Amino acid sequence: MANDLDASRTQFLYGTDPIGIEYQATLWEYNGGGVLNNLFFRSYKLINKSNTTLDSMYVSMWSDTDIGDANNDFVGCDTIRNLGFGYNGISSDPVYDPLPPPSVGFRLIRGPLVPGKFGEDRNRNGIDDASDFGLTSNNLAVAGSINLPMTAFYYFCAGLPNLGDPPMGTSTGAIQFYNFMQGKYGSTGEYFINPITNQPTTYALSGDPVTSSGWIDGMQIPPGDRRLGLATGPFQMEPGAVQFIVVAEIASGAVIGIDYLSAVNLLKYYSNIAKEFYDSTFVVSLPPIKNEVIPDTYLLQQNYPNPFNPSTTIRYEIPDRSFVTIKIYDVLGNEIATLVNEEKPAGSYEVEFSAKGGSASGGNAYSLPSGVYFYTLSSDNYLSTKKMILLR
Query: Do 104 and 161 belong to one domain?
Result: yes
Does 24 reside within a domain?
yes
Does 203 share its domain with 252? Answer: yes
Same domain, 228 and 318: no
Question: Could you tell me the end-to-end alpha-carbon distance of the chain, in angstroms, rounded to an integer?
Answer: 37
The verdict on 219 and 267 lying in the same domain is yes
Assess whether 155 and 264 both reside in one domain.
yes
Res 365: pLDDT: 67
Q: Note whether 51 and 186 are same-domain residues.
A: yes
Vertex 308: Cα angle to 306 and 312 (nearest 5): 85
How many domains does the chain contain in total? Answer: 2
Indicate the residue type of 246.
V
Segments forming the whole domain that contains residue 386: 299-390
Same domain, 8 and 61: yes
Q: Please name which of 112, 110, 107 lies closest in space to residue 82, comparing C-alpha atoms.
A: 107
pLDDT in tens, the chain (392 residues): 888 888 888 878 888 889 999 999 999 999 877 888 999 999 999 999 999 999 999 999 999 999 999 999 999 999 999 999 999 999 999 999 999 999 999 999 999 999 999 999 999 888 889 888 898 888 888 888 999 999 999 999 976 778 999 999 899 999 999 999 999 999 999 999 999 999 999 999 999 999 999 999 999 899 999 999 999 999 999 999 999 999 999 999 999 999 999 999 999 999 999 998 898 787 777 777 666 678 889 999 888 888 888 889 999 999 998 999 999 999 899 999 999 999 998 889 999 999 887 644 445 567 899 889 999 999 988 999 999 988 87
Do 240 and 366 lie in one domain? The reply is no
Task: Report the pLDDT value the prediction gives residue 34, as an integer from 0 to 100.
Answer: 83
Pair 364, 282: CB distance under 8 Å = no
Domain for residue 381, yes or no?
Answer: yes
**63 is a domain residue:** yes
Predicted confidence at residue 361, as pLDDT, reads 45
- In angstroms, rounded to a whole number, what is the distance separating the alpha carbons of residues 289 and 343? 19
Predicted structure pTM score: 0.81
pLDDT of 235? 97
Q: Are residues 274 and 328 in the same domain?
A: no
Domain closes at, from 238, 255, 281? 281
Give the CATH number of the domain where residue 378 resides.
2.60.40.1930
In a domain, 366, yes or no: yes
Q: What is the pLDDT of residue 143?
A: 83
Residues 57, 165, single domain; the answer is yes
Q: Where does a domain end: 281, 307, 339?
A: 281
pLDDT for 96 equals: 95
Q: Within this chain, do residues 11 and 102 fall inside the same structural domain, yes or no?
A: yes
Residue 308 inside a domain? The answer is yes
Query: Does 119 map to a domain?
Result: no
Confirm whether 126 is domain-assigned.
no
